[in-house]
Structure 1
Amino acid sequence: MSSTTLPAAPPDAAPVPRATRVITPARLLPWLMLAPSLAVLVVITGYPLVRMLWLSVHEYERAQLLGVPAPFVGLDNYVATLTDERFWAVTARSFVFMLVCVAVTITAGTLVALLLMRLGPVMRLVLSIGMLLAWAMPPLAAMLVWGWIFDTQYGVVNHVLTSLTGDDWMGHSWLISPLSFFAVAALVIVWGAIPFVAFTLYAGFTQIPGEVLEAAQLDGASARQRFASVQVPYVRTIYVVVIVLSMIWDLKVFTQIFVLQGIGGVKARTSTLGVYIYEMGMAQGHYGAASAIAVIFTIIMLAISAYYVRATIREEQL
């Protein structure tokens, strides 16, 4: 059996040039259509970010608002922030509060999503409308209602507890103690976050093939086993999305904490990162220090978002 040998290329042969990518109007058209949106995004997001970085390396106080030049201090604001015990106390408090809110929100949202799958069309519509109303309500308007519910003198909660227990709860403040303050804040935040989690998980659960669940049921799997072994793996990516988004939203919460502090909370013992940055900047006038805290906070948020981005890219590559 004969074999043929291909002739070797001469040693002085010129390398084959790579095909050059020709820029055609068809390739430029998508970028031209995106250019206005990208320009607006750069202006709205880019300028505040650059301004925040500039302020964080300058000693920018209230006097600079009158035209006094801000002295450059380098990383002094960052060093002062990272060596401040109150910053670490506020950060730890914010993370603990975030973890509790996320855990309760995901658990309650999962239960509501499973409930939506079992309800009939009429009750499902009623529950969906109720959750949409809660989700669509502006946080400030919602806080006015919740503030009235937990009001010290005329609150519904105190009135109901007085009627049920026979003790006099009228005049009891739910916001003086940090523990009860954050319990009320967590209730308000979870109440507003459950609709998004429930609707998102419900949409994922409805995409699970019915034959898979029926096969698991015929094999003797209980409802809990079907949920843990079939439903959760099918919507694992959705769980990653809602958990990461809930972590970001609950970590940067501001309106609920700020309003509750105005109603009766002790600011020094109940501030979270968002409120703490506002206090340092707007209340005390330390804009440079507040910007340094905001930069550190942004890095934390980017670190949390990085996991979500990696998980999304990994799922798209599979």
Structure 2
Amino acid sequence: MALFDLPLPELRRYSPEVPEPDDFDAFWKASVPSGEALVEVRPHSTSLRLVDTFDVTFTGFGGAPVKAWYTRPAGTREALPAVVEYLGYGRGRGLPHERLTWVTAGYAHLLMDSRGQGDQYGSGGGTPDPHGGAPGGPGPVTRGILAPEDYYYRRLMSDAVRAVAAVRELSGVDPTRVAVCGNSQGGGLALAVAGLVPDLAAVLVSAPFLCHVQRAIDITDAAPYGEIVAYLSVHRDAETAVRRTLSYVDGVSFARRATAPGHWGVGLRDTVCPPSTVFAAYNRYGHDDRTIEVYPFNHHEGGDAHHVARQLDWLAARI
């Protein structure tokens, strides 16, 4: 894909006024459950001798159980800094040996399953979405999209906040040193958590989904935004309701509220999460310690393994 969005000098200055609902904070305060999060932590047998793996269940939105993999360096007993990781669109938590970067770097690692996802890529998931009966399209991004109270991402973002509460309750975690990370949908979730949890140690966001959403659905037909476009092409009278719902999950609003150092990544040829939507959130990010890695010739994969190396160095310098 050729460059299609704003030139990089304009992107670095791009900071539009993205309106948010007057009751944004009240909405999210009412959405996220409180109280203890952990339900069950069971040792999980694998053939990996250098890590210890646990099958975790915690309570998410509406009290529903959410699954996660918890891994830590084998045999360690001290309280470690933790990284909570969120998944891309359509993925479930898969198998416990699939994501080992953070644990082999010495962190405790919690990989949150995405409720009602896991059927498009990877190795599946294990968390149903029992609250998904409201009108909307078939894909996660359009489920319940006619009202913010019913919207799928209200539930998933609430789960993401609860994952931080859960990791802080786990044995062998230093609750003062918790970072969140993710790419694409996972980046959008990490950014939401950055705006909803006030005492994170760090935030790592790559190609975040659901930023400056109103612009995204106007300039790209690539999925997942293309699913919203397709929905509106059929439900022609739903645009006002849909745009209102999306305003409650926009990453620009969460970015304004962030209070932890932030490391970002963006590919300038990314049609999935267009660069201007990423910079719209980055340029509003609420902490002065922020940096964005720019990959001019890359699409949604961004810097890929090169970017992960930069994330590891950046996070090690902070926690």
User: Normalized per residue, which structure has more helix?
Assistant: 1
Greater relative contact order (Cα 8 A, min sep 6): structure 1 or 2?
1
Q: TM-score, normalised by structure 2?
A: 0.33
Q: TM-score, normalised by structure 1?
A: 0.33
User: Normalized per residue, which structure has more strand?
Assistant: 2
